Structure 1
Amino acid sequence: MSDDKSGVAPGTSADGSRRVTTSPPPVPTETDGKPAPPPTSVPSAPPAVTGGEQVPDALPDDRYFNRELSWQDFNARVLALAEDASQPLLERAKFLAIFASNLDEFYMVRVAGLKRRDETGLSVRSADGLTPREQLSYIAKRNQDLVERHTAAFEEHVRPSLAEKDIRIVRWSDLDGADHTRLSQYFTEQIFPVLTPLAVDPAHPFPYISGLSLNLAVTVRDPEGGTERFARVKVPNNVPRLVRIERQRDSQTATFLPLEELISAHLGELFSGMEVTEYHVFRVTRNADFEVEEDRDEDLLQALERELAQRRFGPPVRLEVAHDMSEHMLELLLRELEVDPRDVVEVPGLLDLTCLMQLLSVDRKELKDRPFVPATHPAFGERETPKSVFSTLRDGDVLVHHPYDSFSTSVQRFIEQAAADDKVLAIKQTLYRTSGDSPIVDALIDAAEAGKQVVALVEIKARFDEQANITWARTLERAGVHVVYGLVGLKTHCKVALVVRQEGGTIRRYCHIGTGNYNPKTARLYEDLGLLTADPAIGADLTDLFNVLTGYSRQATYRNILTSPHGIRRGILSYVADEIELAKAGKPAGVRIKCNSLVDEQVIDGLYRASAAGVEVDIVVRGICALKPGVPGLSDNISVRSILGRFLEHSRIFHFRGADAYWIGSADMMHRNLDRRIEAMVQVKDPKLAAQLGEVFDSALDPLTRCWVLSATGEWIPFPAETTQVRDHQIELLRKHGATG
């Protein structure tokens, strides 16, 4: 999924009014031109597995929110951050870009999947009882509203505010003759040579339009008489979208011209001797959700590369057009691209606002979040003669919390010291996503070249990072690393590392189990947790897990960790069942969950049963939530809130109060994580470390913490009220950990 990037007043628009984000109410949809019947409730789910027993399901049919509409609500919360006038101005522009990027991926994957099911006639309904076509109808209506709100936030608020600060995005007509001269020279030297106007006529078929490319649809006419002709000009994506106009060396002033404006102003040079009668910008989004037929290919790498080559040729799922595009030009695009008219999104402004990320390059610190330096965890603090990570872990477990605790002086140092230590015999690690210049990968290469046994499980099916991971896999293989690509039919999403070290006459194992990727760049943007330990039992568990990942072991149960696809759901439901029994016995009980998404019906039903038994359930979810909180008789004792801000809340934490048990790991409460991925969770047993996790929950759930609260009707309500004294969860953690700015 999506990277939304402290203190904000979520849901506050630029004019100071509060914005309430809601799931769209039921509206009539159309099927073959006829009004669709009301949504049909989903049949009762099969008996849920709770604590290892089959418990009859007597819960109401309409107990879930739709996951796709809940995702749109999440992206609306991202948009609310861009609308928030208390945010630094360039951060607001960043959130506008993140909203656009999130929406692109949503269409490429989720909408594409729904369209495929609808077109193939699959009658599978969502958990809330909607058919694929009904969901697509709701999504389209909600999306058009969000796109208009997105455009208004930029055109009416952020863009004018930027101009007041001497950062301008202008049109060609706004510039003077001197600017035109400079830009025309730039066009002639840098842009014109890479442009290829493609005509459409009997001798030239309609060109293929690649996904997410920005294009100009142009009509030209022979001035001496003749019919109009259509042509397409692709806006190159290998040059900056926003062309900075160099007027002076004052870095405080920045003026940008969208590249399509520059090209449009010079169409006469591309179609010399012809009259340009009309031109408009458009953009196509294509299905990028493919599946590799692993069992039919001997080489997974080759199979994946073949599918990657086909990704850009997927069928279209969205056509974005300028709002003033003429009817006849739109009809031509719909016909030639074979796009359903329901998939057209009219944008009343600049298309593809992901380009606003480029504005962060402007050197205006006062318009950005205050920079910070992550603190080195006290356990790894600098000394005249620093202790090794191994010596530190022999003294006890360490819990690191990124980005507040430095990744480079903890997890990265752990791998780097292992690579350089003569006593280390082996390093085994999973890699799901990592940075382009990864020091982790460099350390693994150094270790292999030093003669250590190094195993890297590279998940080459990590969506949209496939090509990068293929490149890493081959680089590691050339260095002598044993590279494994995971298990057929499953993605390896767990974040684990195992170091085997010879210490005298014994072998000791050191471990890291985390919630986030081994990526030093995102570790400064994503909030994640990691447990570093020398616990022999956990070391034995990770040894067994790597045997599953690299060999033919089918082990599914472990001593001190939970893994999917066999154990995490069952383990969580077992803990929930225990909390229910404690509550019935009048003993303290409670469940607190922090995750990215809560969709899995069995887990949700377990929480509903806990609520009915009097167990207090508090949930902090960043993105999708299909659970309905606060419904009388169903979820009276469940509260749900969402925190978005400077850092992307990414950690997964589970606290079972009666058992006094804290768990962290890589798994979200979604079908894909619990059924189709290798995930790992570990219990944090050290009382001091468990208390740290408790403090994270206490801060996130503080009544004064800025957040959105989910209502029983699906509204995400900004909280607390504007007149109330508020605190910011992320800023408080920055202070607590001593991260400096």
Structure 2
Amino acid sequence: MKLFKSADLIRKSKYISRDLSWLRFNYRVLDQARDASRSLFDRLRFMAITSSNLDEFFMIRVGSLYNYIDYGKERVDYSGLRELPFRRKLLDFAHRFINDQSLTYLNELKPLFERNGFNVLRMEELTELEVKKADGYFKNTIFPLLTPMVYDSYHGFPLMMNQMLIFGVVTRAGSVLDAEPDKGQERLTFVQIPQNLSRFFELSRKDKVMFVPIEEIVRANLPKLFRNVEIVSANLFRITRNGDFTLEESDDIDVDFIKEIQLGLKTRKKGRVVRLEVEPNASALLMQVLRERWNIDNGNVFVINSLIDMKGLLQILKHPNFRGKGFKQPAAVTPLSLPEGTEDNLFEYLKHHDVLLHHPYNNIDPVVRLLEQAAEDPHVLGIKQTIYRLADDSRVTAALLKAAENGKHVSVLFEVKARFDEERNIREGAKLEKAGCFVIYGVSKYKTHTKMMMIIRKEGEKVTRYVHIGSGNYNEQTSRIYTDVSLLTTNDVYGHDVSEFFNVITGHSQPDDYEYLITAPKDMRQQLISLIREEVRNAKKGLPSGIVMKMNSLEDKEMIDEFYKASKAGVPIRFIVRGICCLRPGRVGLSENIEVRSIVGDYLEHSRLFYFHQAGHPKVYAGSADLMVRSFDRRIEALFLIVNPQLKREAINILYFNLKDNQNTYVMREDGAYIRRQPADDEPVSNVHREFYNKSFGLVAETALFDEWLSCATIRSSSAEDNNQPAESGEEDASAPGEVVTADVGLDPEADEEAALE
């Protein structure tokens, strides 16, 4: 009866579980790997992404759940389930995802390897000469790095490293170190494969490349590590540890955040095990020891029938034979608001024009070049910037260093709590400090997530502030694959607001109001709620109303409840949410006027754009914040109002083409599942990841644009029968979450990341 009660709670909840919603997002990524219209190499890239996403999900989201379970803390999920029932539900869903992932690799991708010029082979599939080469690689490179670690009554349990390939080897008979070896005794030894070795050993076979998983080479050569003993079994496994450490929240400005971060990073190496991936038919002795040692059960154990750690597939894509055979990114186009030939003197151009950049369709180069010009310009007095994530060999860091060397005042807020980039940011911040920059490592208990830069330049008798503010990081690498929007301006109002904002995060200033900015944690949630309620008032007066929002995640309950109220009042609402969505669209009496779409394709949709109709006088905001509790309460975020009429229309058109897309779009059903959108018979193909390259899209009038949105029929959920899905039966989910029938992915009618990437 408890099982049925859980299912009933999930169905009745007006919210979707954040974590189950994330797993559905990863199903949409897996769907890209299943897409036969893509090249095999592109499909392998998406398969690797699903594996990387899942690693972070277990480290952070499942790790966070265990922080509650292990310490007896109470938590009720949005689905209505308490910690233990939700753990069962979550891990069950994860098991089915991993099973679908393995089946996709084995049945859909691997059969295509040979015809595409390569293969992934076991040792027994190699020729005699190839075996000799692999054995030579083991002898010369692998063998010196391996350290067998025995575990018995005389030897403690060794520290197993997070996400490292490990062999659990069961042997029989004593070693030469035993005074009186017991020939009937089974002993357990662990052999960890260093992470700095390539995932595959590469061999050439005629015109093809053979990739041999490194574990296959180690397995074949284990007798060289265990001489004069019988190897009973050797099973590969991999563990994922809890990586969710939370800093102590303190208002004491003297707290040493760097030491606290470094201590937290060390805890990740010893965090509790939340997932064990293992080969089929593993030794009973090995599994008993691992379960008992790490206090895990079958829910945490994932038997992998294919390849453990598919992130390694990226090595195939990087091979010289296959470079350029995956997704071919078009050349960036010139921004509509930045004519060609103006980048050489950005200071002069920006004095008279605002610029909206839409990455990756527009290059991030104007932002970086402005910073580089500022570093060398004798009239520039100072630079202030927030940094969340940087590229390797960052031009941004180089420019800031050059500016400091040239005697300019440089203030940089490095967010050292940027997950998985903590060490890099600490290192880069120290480098800038040594050069004379004023570096701030985060702001007390808040994570600074806003993306903002200001250059102060003396021009005659006045000082001009050049402002850049956006939704994306100052990272030249990710700007080529993340969609983001940003603004370059010298508008005095933005300059004043951004100056005040920097004073807030570096000092004790508390401005009364910003004119063009909405900030968190000050009042972002309430200001957005006020804008929603204004749409409600207009709808009740019979005036035009509507909301269109594009973001990474929608999770905050207060905001969701306001959207439900707006829907009941007749406000049409369209969401484009890449990942987590905890709102249920299309529920009768609750959210009938709400539609949720997700775009997953060639680029990671990272931009945030918020449109409010305002009875024909729309307001459009962009910025760094998603609609999440953490964004409103635990982060320093900023949204900026787009006031330039031309740039506002450009931003609206970005939303317009997102809603037109019928190649990368999934529509969310009321039960939380997603259906891949297909173009109607008379509807032209529209691929949002191509549109902004292929046209300097015309500027559509706002009212006509919104009328079109309203006239578009909402895509309703198809029934399970219509989609050839099995009928619902009891507690078991009505359909396998990974089954793709008419492109319906991530189905789990009863159910219900940090986001995968910031």
Give the TM-score taking structure 2 as reference length: 0.87
Equivalent residues of 2:394, 2:476 under 8 A apart: yes
**For 2:171 and 2:9, how far apart are their aligned partners in 1?**
53
Equivalent residues of 2:6, 2:81 under 8 A apart: no
Mark the CA change 1:273 to 1:556 in structure 2 (over 3 Å): closer, same or farther.
farther
Matched, 1:169 2:120: yes
Give 1:374's aligned residue.
332
Picking from 135, 138, 145, the partner of 2:86 is: 135
C-alpha deviation, 1:299, in angstroms = 1.9
Give 1:187's aligned residue.
138
Matched, 1:558 2:514: yes
Map residues 310-459 of structure 1 onto 2, 5 A cutoff.
Answer: 310-362=267-319, 363-364=321-322, 367-377=325-335, 379-383=337-341, 387-408=344-365, 410-459=366-415
Letter in 2 for 1:354: K
List per-residue Cα deviations over 1:656-693 (Å, max 9, x = no partner): 11241110000000000111000011011111111111
**For 1:725 and 1:371, how far apart are their aligned partners in 2?**
22
Give 2:741's aligned residue.
none
Map residues 666-681 of structure 1 onto 2, 5 A cutoff.
Answer: 666-681=624-639
Equivalent residues of 2:336, 2:696 under 8 A apart: no
**For 2:339 and 2:643, how far apart are their aligned partners in 1?**
23
C-alpha deviation, 1:722, in angstroms = 8.6
Letter in 2 for 1:256: F
**For 1:624 and 1:136, how far apart are their aligned partners in 2?**
18
Matched, 1:708 2:663: no
Mark the CA change 1:484 to 1:501 in structure 2 (over 3 Å): closer, same or farther.
same
Matched, 1:255 2:210: yes
List per-residue Cα deviations over 1:349-392 (Å, max 9, x = no partner): 21111111111113335731123222243554543x85511211
Matched, 1:637 2:593: yes
Matched, 1:621 2:577: yes
299-308 or 622-631: which moved more?
299-308
**For 1:225 and 1:437, how far apart are their aligned partners in 2?**
57
Matched, 1:476 2:435: no
Mark the CA change 1:704 to 1:291 in structure 2 (over 3 Å): closer, same or farther.
closer
Matched, 1:82 2:82: no
Letter in 2 for 1:340: D
> SS where residue 75 of structure 1 aligns?
helix
Give 1:38's aligned residue.
6
**For 2:485 and 2:343, how far apart are their aligned partners in 1?**
23
Give 2:178's aligned residue.
none
C-alpha deviation, 1:69, in angstroms = 0.7
Picking from 508, 526, 547, the partner of 1:591 is: 547
Picking from 58, 70, 73, the partner of 1:119 is: 70
Letter in 1 for 2:359: H
Give 1:226's aligned residue.
184
Equivalent residues of 1:556, 1:567 under 8 A apart: no
C-alpha deviation, 1:293, in angstroms = 2.8
Matched, 1:660 2:605: no
Give 1:240's aligned residue.
198
Letter in 2 for 1:300: F
C-alpha deviation, 1:126, in angstroms = 2.1
Task: State, as a whole percentage, how many aligned pairs show the same letter.
Answer: 37
**For 1:649 and 1:401, how far apart are their aligned partners in 2?**
11
Letter in 1 for 2:498: L
> SS where residue 680 of structure 1 aligns?
strand
Give 1:149's aligned residue.
100
Matched, 1:500 2:500: no
Q: Which sections of structure 1, spanning at least 5 residues, go unmatched? A: 1-27, 30-34, 43-59
**For 1:288 and 1:328, how far apart are their aligned partners in 2?**
28
698-707 or 232-241: which moved more?
698-707
Equivalent residues of 1:433, 1:462 under 8 A apart: yes
**For 2:375 and 2:669, how far apart are their aligned partners in 1?**
50
> SS where residue 168 of structure 2 aligns?
strand
Equivalent residues of 1:706, 1:720 under 8 A apart: no
Equivalent residues of 2:597, 2:666 under 8 A apart: yes
Give 1:576's aligned residue.
532
List per-residue Cα deviations over 1:275-299 (Å, max 9, x = no partner): 2121111111111111223648742
Give 1:22's aligned residue.
none
**For 1:620 and 1:335, how far apart are their aligned partners in 2?**
45
**For 1:310 and 1:597, how far apart are their aligned partners in 2?**
28
C-alpha deviation, 1:70, in angstroms = 0.6
Give 1:729's aligned residue.
688
**For 2:191 and 2:513, how far apart are their aligned partners in 1?**
57
Equivalent residues of 2:92, 2:299 under 8 A apart: no
C-alpha deviation, 1:108, in angstroms = 0.6
**For 2:663 and 2:612, how far apart are their aligned partners in 1?**
22
Letter in 2 for 1:729: V
Give 1:200's aligned residue.
151
Letter in 2 for 1:332: V
Equivalent residues of 2:417, 2:442 under 8 A apart: no
Give 2:58's aligned residue.
107
Equivalent residues of 2:368, 2:395 under 8 A apart: yes
Picking from 660, 672, 675, the partner of 1:717 is: 675
Equivalent residues of 1:114, 1:133 under 8 A apart: no
**For 2:538 and 2:154, how far apart are their aligned partners in 1?**
77
List per-residue Cα deviations over 1:105-140 (Å, max 9, x = no partner): 111111111122123222231233211212211111
List per-residue Cα deviations over 1:69-124 (Å, max 9, x = no partner): 11111111111111111111111111111101111111111111112212322223
> SS where residue 395 of structure 1 aligns?
coil
**For 1:67 and 1:198, how far apart are their aligned partners in 2?**
40
Equivalent residues of 2:337, 2:356 under 8 A apart: no
Matched, 1:541 2:509: no
620-629 or 111-120: which moved more?
111-120
**For 1:272 and 1:264, how far apart are their aligned partners in 2?**
14
Matched, 1:609 2:609: no
> SS where residue 509 of structure 1 aligns?
strand
**For 2:146 and 2:696, how far apart are their aligned partners in 1?**
52
C-alpha deviation, 1:231, in angstroms = 0.7
**For 2:249 and 2:671, how far apart are their aligned partners in 1?**
42
307-316 or 260-269: which moved more?
307-316
List per-residue Cα deviations over 1:592-615 (Å, max 9, x = no partner): 000000011111111111111111
Letter in 1 for 2:660: D
Equivalent residues of 1:40, 1:130 under 8 A apart: no
**For 2:95 and 2:332, how far apart are their aligned partners in 1?**
40
Mark the CA change 1:254 to 1:737 in structure 2 (over 3 Å): closer, same or farther.
farther
List per-residue Cα deviations over 1:211-268 (Å, max 9, x = no partner): 11110111112399331211110011101011111456x5xx2210000100001001
**For 1:65 and 1:731, how far apart are their aligned partners in 2?**
32
**For 1:699 and 1:245, how far apart are their aligned partners in 2?**
46
Equivalent residues of 1:706, 1:727 under 8 A apart: no
**For 2:57 and 2:415, how far apart are their aligned partners in 1?**
22
Equivalent residues of 1:563, 1:681 under 8 A apart: yes
Picking from 455, 478, 485, the partner of 1:522 is: 478
List per-residue Cα deviations over 1:43-71 (Å, max 9, x = no partner): xxxxxxxxxxxxxxxxx973111111111
Q: Which sections of structure 2, spanning at least 5 residues, go unmatched? A: 175-181, 698-758
Equivalent residues of 2:661, 2:687 under 8 A apart: no
**For 1:727 and 1:718, how far apart are their aligned partners in 2?**
14
